[in-house]
Structure 1
């Protein structure tokens, strides 16, 4: 008799784009290693409540953009708190019954959560009798108390530091595995540089990729981007504004950025290719983008980390020599000079790739989930 395929349900939430990207990366990674496994990724809020979901997300996005300090304060003041109180309130009636129905319908052999909210919801369903293994993938280089739930069968975390932090929140050592954050298999290999340059109409010269994250938070209050434009005759700049149309227009309308060596892009699914032809990445330190940069061995400069996870992510990558905090023009001068020296830039990149190979294996997370399901 033909055995039916194993099924993995991956649940995320749309706050920032990293959680869902991690879920998709893990889903593709699992299928890449074992095509007999079926995967399904759902963003819980959007799926269960198409009207409220996006409203909550856009309110959160406004807060992050306009009041990052408030986000940091909330993050720190609730650091040790579990999600139970929150779960008993707003989400209670809305999420549990519908999530339960989704699980009954899809009959997964395992559930992976990449965000604390679905994690709390599934944990509660398990307390009420749901019998499906729950794996929790923490998509940052920090572990907030809201992740901790006794019902989680296994935590998949980025580093030994995150493992230690989870243990401080009361999670036993045996339930935590250090796997690294998964990236899409597109980031596991390099593409042909000449083809990529042709595709994006780029020149073969020292190149800097500037990313504002999924929301494209490219406000240039310190004038650092304008300062970078001063290098445009010798350094090519690629700005990725994500879904932020306003930021894209603002850059396009600035005469400083109208130059053959400056490209302004909106949302693209081909960041892996742009990283292949770039010598330096300037980005917000989201857990996912940093891990993608790490997997490509590209040096990173981090700007304006949002207090909370982004600060922790930034600290990890700086401490481990994968990047530096972008604070002033001197940092720009130093790095823009380095990438114009082919030998020095090549050596630096090779050293990062060696370090990456010691610390990170892109298949590890997908392998761990497949093993746990056996």
Structure 2
């Protein structure tokens, strides 16, 4: 009698970071996806910056976020200046300062595959692998639609990307096509409540007969003082606004005070776990163009009206959407109101944007990504035998 084949438990280590919601949420989406796979696996998610700088990380994160909100032009300048630099060599040298912490952590867990949703973790892992300290395959999940070499490292075994344009960029930079999988950016599962959009609108105490504009206001100060001035104009439109403040408690309380009295068409929310449901019922999304937000909007065929994009990857993401006809972009509150009125009065424009957003969909991105990751986990350390020579020559390690 033939004995049953015992499947070996595979260990997956994911390095992420909270220096941007997309890095963290992509890791979370992959983590959640392992629960529905038949292959037995053990997954561990670690904040890379917290691991290497446990004391200073909170300060570093605060400084990073402040620099984006207070000095966006400087951030954009540095981003652009480094976009075409081959950073692998420098990042490999930086990794030596905290290599022991990363190596010890990896040795304790003994992963079959290592995944990174954070570019600096990817650079560190590539540097350590070049020295023989890391044996497992390395998978980098690129969480933007932007083009930047900070993600590209010679000892990365596989890249998971959100669109063909990103794959084309990687190949132009010397990455072999076999190392790239266009899976989409991993997003939280699309678990809509049962029923139609009118049913869900009623559940959320919204008028089922009026359009809904969802505003993602919590991300790094989308609602500045100049945005508060348009609340009264919003209140006069025949549209329902759902403004989500996320974890930004200060903004939530400010909006509650500043929303005009009697403005029954403006609903203010703090943090909600039902953001995908709100996207499902919305007709338009006002937001900054983060990679995760774009992917979630595409999953719901939700056109976007972009506002206050941060110079750097968000501007690149915005360009990606505009080139694909899935968004409009406003640079100030006056333009925002102009586009709002245009899109609400000319439904054919909105319908076409919806169709264009549908073309950007990558269904089951987290599941497809996890399939690639588990395949590499099965291969395991045999990936050491892959010839990296051609790519290494280009990056001059």
TM norm. shorter chain > 0.5: yes
Mapping 1:78-97, distance limit 5 Å: 78-81=82-85, 82-89=87-94, 92-93=96-97, 95-97=98-100
Mapping 1:63-212, distance limit 5 Å: 63-81=67-85, 82-89=87-94, 92-93=96-97, 95-129=98-132, 130-186=134-190, 191-192=194-195, 193=197, 196-197=200-201, 200-204=204-208, 205-212=210-217
Q: Is the 8 A contact 1:65 1:217 kept in 2?
A: no
Q: Is the 8 A contact 1:45 1:52 kept in 2?
A: no
In structure 2, the partner of 1:226 is 231
2:295 pairs with one of 274, 291, 294: 291
Which consecutive unaligned segments of at least 5 residues does structure 2 have? 379-397
What secondary structure sits across from 1:249 in the alignment?
helix
2:345 pairs with one of 325, 337, 345: 337
2:277 pairs with one of 273, 278, 284: 273
Q: Is the 8 A contact 1:182 1:366 kept in 2?
A: no
Q: Is the 8 A contact 2:17 2:23 kept in 1?
A: yes
In structure 2, the partner of 1:253 is 257
How many angstroms apart in 2 are the aligned matches of 1:256 and 1:217? 19
Q: Is the 8 A contact 1:158 1:179 kept in 2?
A: yes
How many angstroms apart in 1 are the aligned matches of 2:123 and 2:178? 20
How many angstroms apart in 2 are the aligned matches of 1:88 and 1:356? 37
Which consecutive unaligned segments of at least 5 residues does structure 1 have? none
Question: What is the Cα deviation at residue 361 of structure 1?
Answer: 5.1
2:249 counterpart of 1:241: no
In structure 2, the partner of 1:27 is 31
Aligned residues, how many?
A: 365
What per-residue deviation string (whole Å, max 9, x for no partner) do you get for residues 207-257 of structure 1? Answer: 11100354453215256742652335x211111112222222221121427
In structure 1, the partner of 2:389 is none
What per-residue deviation string (whole Å, max 9, x for no partner) do you get for residues 70-93 of structure 1? Answer: 11001011112314425534x543
1:44 pairs with one of 48, 68, 71: 48
